[in-house]
């Protein structure tokens, strides 16, 4: 509940309690028996109540006794009679949970209404006609009893007081007038006979209650029928919104957020209900005119040309013309027609400005811009919601109504959370469904498409078709013979160059949620090789996400290149197709050209024809690469394993023989590693091995080679190293071993023994060098153990001299 509503309720309760306390303090009764009889009947009659349509409230015939009290009893008696009757009405068979604050407000409101009616009727004391006095009193009591309740509803729901009062209570006014007539009859009987005689007429209350129920029942039926029509109307609007979504997949989420934003801002600006209804419909239908815009313009992943933008600008006018045929009972059409107008008059289609623009269109324009900036588009990246709001605020007074921007700035974070909790409904149409059954009665025409780029006679068409079939056959035959990724993609690039002219080709491979360039050739080689495109962004990322091709897209929208003035490209056209394997998208094949709209639909057809074969070939090559890598790579450290070590060492020795150069082989073994496993567990031991492997890899030269032989033993190959450099390197590696471990407690408990063998002095092949280095390593390990047992841990200087001696 909002603060103004809480304050108003507090004022009413305080005023009502004061009125009750004052009435009790000044108690006065001319006939206590009459008062008790009327009080009993009033409390019982309070159970004869009907539920008010549209709100959580009830209405009873208790007001009759208020009018009787005004004409026959004192203020104190009437006040107690009304308050106790109201209490019984709140507690007896309540359909809603009884809340103390609601009961207190109802009683206090009744006390104020009775007191005010008494004071008002006192102004007409000179009126000699009881009927006129009761009529005037019933009208004033009706206003005093219903206006505060309508005020609470209006303050709570941010509605207009007058409209709320008319919708919720004005319909009941005739019953107060009828009640005044019945009260006049009862008072007339009391004066002519005795007040007890009026009790004989009280069964008429049942008739009044019955008429109440019939009347309210009809109101509820009419309201239910109106709600059903409104619901049907809304479902029709949502169906039209889905028609827009069929053209533009990005529109669905956009519509959901915009509808929530504009509705809440309209309530904040206290727009009438008819304008709020128009806003709700316009939020869903403002882009329906895009049905007249070609899909390739709507989905284009790049900036539009001037001609394309001129085509896009017709959608507000077309949308308004479509909705004029619907005949909405609220002003939807003006909002849709003007939702691209700007506050300063620079918008389209008619250049309206300021207050000339409908308030609904002003709200929709600001919200539409905010959501568009904060959403992903094919032609640019999304910005944060805060950054989008700052941009909208910067256009206040220029493009947007300052009053609308002020409300949006104050509430945009809350509105975003609210929009996420309100789905639009059905979110996707079955556009990709393929129906295999059925054919037209007139039959199907055999299509014979011709080239769109140049006219040709049938002989050249036949020759081109035969050449295309031959090249496709040769490509598919060659693709099946290669398992290497690089060779597979090279074959694709060479063959495609002859079939589809292009200036650059990039094969993007899906790695997690990003596309990485696996093969790049042609213009902007460095640029494309450096990109890593998130799925859904840029041109190729959009193709990967939507699993749809793009013809003549804009290459400048590739992620990392978009809106970066430091990166310039002469490429102007792109042709991209998704590469779909057995388990989904494996990548994207994109061709680029320097000319504008340089690719034809025939080019797209050819690329789609080979995409499945290329996809399977790439998928098989990637699996082969993964299997090949796992065969020569240690799974724990990621270093080459023993098999890979021997292959590399043989290759290095062959090079040394040709160049007559030397080669050093280091065999490294960890001391104390078994104690780490025994004390801290094998998981910690694995962590130590990974740390040592990473340290060896990082601290070696680019052309050095590090491998894991097995267990806690590593081998380092150092081409072209002299004795001094080897000694320095051994010292560095030994220091690295002391730093291995995930905790400070583990670090320093592992040392490294190293044995070195030099080609050609210590051996002429891999086996001899590894055996000699291994022997020296064990010799160093034993000497170190003997010295530690004899004199304790060796000081740092002694260890360095000892390592130097091992090299010798």
pLDDT per residue as tens digits for the range 649-683: 888 899 998 888 888 999 998 888 888 888 888 88
User: Is it true that domain 227-420 has CATH number 1.10.3210.10?
Assistant: yes
Mean pLDDT for the chain overall: 76
């291995």: which residue's tokens? Answer: 740
**Which range among 127-136, 402-411, 499-508, 779-788 shows the weakest confidence by mean pLDDT?**
127-136
Cis peptide before 760 (omega within 30 of 0): yes
DSSP letter for 795, please: P
Q: Are β-strands 584-593 and 573-581 bridged in parallel, bridged antiparallel, or unpaired?
A: antiparallel
- Residue 252 sits at φ, ψ, to 5 deg, of -60, -55
Would you place residue 379 in the very low, low, confident or very high pLDDT band (cuts 50, 70, 90)? low
Would you place residue 796 in the very low, low, confident or very high pLDDT band (cuts 50, 70, 90)? very low
Q: Smallest Cα–Cα separation from 560: which of 605, 519, 601, 527?
A: 527
- For residue 267, give every residue at least 6 positions away whose Cβ sits within 8 Å of its Cβ, in sequence order, or none: 157, 158, 159, 276
pLDDT per residue as tens digits for the range 618-627: 777 777 666 6
Q: Which residues of 208-239 are buried (b: 16+ CB within 10 A; e: fewer)?
A: bbeebeeebeebeeeeeeeeeeeeebeeebbe
DSSP letter for 721, please: -
CATH superfamily of this structure's domain 642-807: Reverse transcriptase/Diguanylate cyclase domain (3.30.70.270)
pTM of the model: 0.43
pLDDT per residue as tens digits for the range 604-619: 888 887 787 777 777 7
pLDDT at 406: 92
188 versus 340: which is more confidently predicted? 340
561 burial type by CB count under 10 A (0-12 exposed, 13-18 middle, 19+ buried) = buried
CATH domain 3-202 topology: Arp2/3 complex 21 kDa subunit ARPC3 (1.10.1760)
Q: Which residues of 117-134 are buried (b: 16+ CB within 10 A; e: fewer)?
A: bbebbeeeeeeeeebebb
Average pLDDT of the segment spanning 132-140: 78
pLDDT at 454: 41
pLDDT per residue as tens digits for the range 1-16: 677 888 888 888 888 8
DSSP letter for 715, please: E
pLDDT at 790: 63
328 versus 694: which is more confidently predicted? 694
Q: Reduce the DSSP state of residue 81 to 3 states and report it.
A: helix
């009764």: which residue's tokens? Answer: 29
CATH domain 460-630 topology: Beta-Lactamase (3.30.450)
Computed from CA positions of residues 757, 763, 769, 773, in that sequence, does the dihedral angle turn out positive or negative? negative
Q: Reduce the DSSP state of residue 317 to 3 states and report it.
A: helix
- Domain chopping of the chain, boundaries: 3-202, 227-420, 460-630, 642-807
């Amino acid at each position: 509940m909002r603060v103004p509503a809480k304050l108003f309720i507090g004022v009413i309760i305080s005023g009502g309690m004061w009125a009750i306390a004052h009435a009790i303090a000044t108690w006065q009764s001319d006939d206590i028996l009459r008062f008790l009889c009327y009080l009993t009947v009033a409390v019982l009659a309070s159970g004869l109540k009907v539920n008010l349509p549209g709100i959580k409230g009830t209405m009873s015939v208790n007001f009759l006794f208020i009018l009787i009290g005004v004409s026959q009893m004192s203020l104190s008696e009437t006040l107690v009679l009304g308050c106790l009757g109201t209490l019984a009405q709140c507690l007896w068979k309540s359909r809603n949970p009884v809340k103390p604050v609601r009961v207190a407000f109802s009683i206090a409101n009744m006390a104020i209404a009775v007191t005010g009616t008494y004071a008002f009727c006192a102004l007409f004391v000179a009126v000699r006609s009881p009927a006129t006095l009761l009529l005037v009193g019933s009208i004033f009591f009706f206003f005093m009893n219903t206006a505060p309740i309508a005020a609470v509803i209006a303050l709570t729901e941010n509605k207009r007081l007058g409209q709320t009062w008319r919708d919720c209570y004005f319909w009941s006014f005739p019953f107060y007038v009828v009640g005044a007539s019945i009260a006049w009859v009862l008072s007339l009987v009391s004066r002519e006979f005795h007040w007890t005689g009026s009790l004989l007429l009280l069964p008429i209350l049942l008739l009044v209650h019955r008429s109440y129920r019939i009347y309210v029942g009809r109101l509820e039926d009419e309201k239910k029928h109106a709600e059903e029509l409104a619901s049907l109307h809304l479902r029709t609007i949502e169906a039209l919104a889905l028609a827009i979504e069929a053209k533009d997949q990005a529109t669905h989420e956009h519509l959901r957020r915009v509808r929530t934003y504009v509705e809440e801002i309209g309530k904040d600006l206290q727009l009438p209900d008819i304008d709020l209804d128009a806003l709700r419909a316009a939020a869903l239908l403002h882009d329906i005119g895009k049905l007249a815009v070609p899909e390739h313009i709507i989905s284009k992943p790049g900036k539009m040309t001037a001609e394309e933008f001129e085509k896009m600008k017709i959608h507000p006018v077309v949308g308004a013309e479509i909705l004029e045929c619907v005949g909405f009972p609220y002003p939807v059409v003006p909002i849709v027609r003007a939702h691209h107008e700007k506050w300063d008059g620079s918008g389209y289609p008619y250049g309206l400005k300021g207050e000339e623009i409908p308030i609904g269109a002003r709200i929709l324009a600001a919200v539409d811009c905010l959501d568009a900036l904060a959403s992903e588009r094919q032609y640019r990246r999304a910005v944060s919601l805060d950054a989008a709001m700052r941009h909208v605020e910067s256009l206040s007074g220029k493009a947007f109504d300052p009053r609308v921007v002020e409300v949006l700035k104050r509430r945009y974070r809350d509105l975003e959370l609210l929009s996420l909790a309100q789905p639009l409904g059905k979110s996707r149409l079955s556009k990709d469904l393929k129906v295999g059954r059925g054919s037209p009665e007139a039959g199907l025409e055999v299509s014979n498409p011709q080239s769109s780029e140049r006219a040709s006679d049938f002989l050249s068409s036949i020759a081109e078709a035969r050449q295309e079939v031959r090249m496709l056959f040769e490509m598919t035959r060659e693709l099946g013979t290669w398992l290497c990724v690089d060779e597979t993609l090279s074959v694709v690039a060479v063959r495609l160059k002859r079939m589809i002219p292009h200036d650059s080709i990039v094969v993007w491979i899906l790695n997690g949620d990003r596309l990485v360039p696996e093969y790049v050739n042609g213009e902007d080689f460095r640029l494309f090789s450096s990109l890593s495109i998130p799925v859904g962004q840029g041109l190729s990322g959009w193709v990967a996400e939507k699993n749809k091709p793009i013809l003549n897209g804009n290459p400048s929208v590739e992620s990392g290149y978009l809106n970066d003035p430091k990166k310039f490209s002469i490429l102007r056209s792109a042709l991209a197709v998704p590469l779909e394997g057995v388990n989904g998208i494996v990548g994207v094949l994109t061709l680029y050209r320097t000319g504008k709209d340089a690719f034809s639909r025939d080019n797209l057809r050819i690329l789609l024809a080979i995409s499945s074969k290329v996809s399977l070939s790439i998928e098989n090559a990637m699996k082969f690469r993964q299997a090949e890598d796992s065969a020569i790579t240690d799974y724990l450290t990621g270093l080459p394993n023993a098999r890979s070590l021997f292959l590399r060492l043989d290759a290095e020795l062959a090079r040394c023989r040709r160049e007559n150069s030397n080669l050093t082989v280091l065999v490294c073994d960890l001391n104390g590693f078994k104690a780490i496993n025994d004390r801290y567990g094998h998981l910690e031991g694995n962590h130590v091995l990974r740390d040592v492997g990473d340290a060896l890899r990082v601290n070696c030269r680019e052309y050095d080679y590090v491998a894991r032989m097995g267990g806690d033993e590593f081998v380092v190959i150092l081409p072209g190293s002299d004795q001094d450099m080897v000694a320095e390197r051994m010292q560095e590696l030994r220091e690295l071993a002391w730093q291995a471990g995930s905790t400070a407690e583990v670090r320093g408990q592992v040392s490294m023994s190293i044995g070195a063998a030099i080609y050609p002095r210590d051996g002429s092949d891999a086996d001899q060098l590894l055996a000699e280095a291994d022997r020296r390593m064990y010799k160093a390990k034993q000497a170190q153990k003997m010295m530690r047992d004899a004199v304790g841990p060796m000081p740092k200087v002694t260890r360095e001299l000892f390592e130097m001696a091992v090299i010798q």
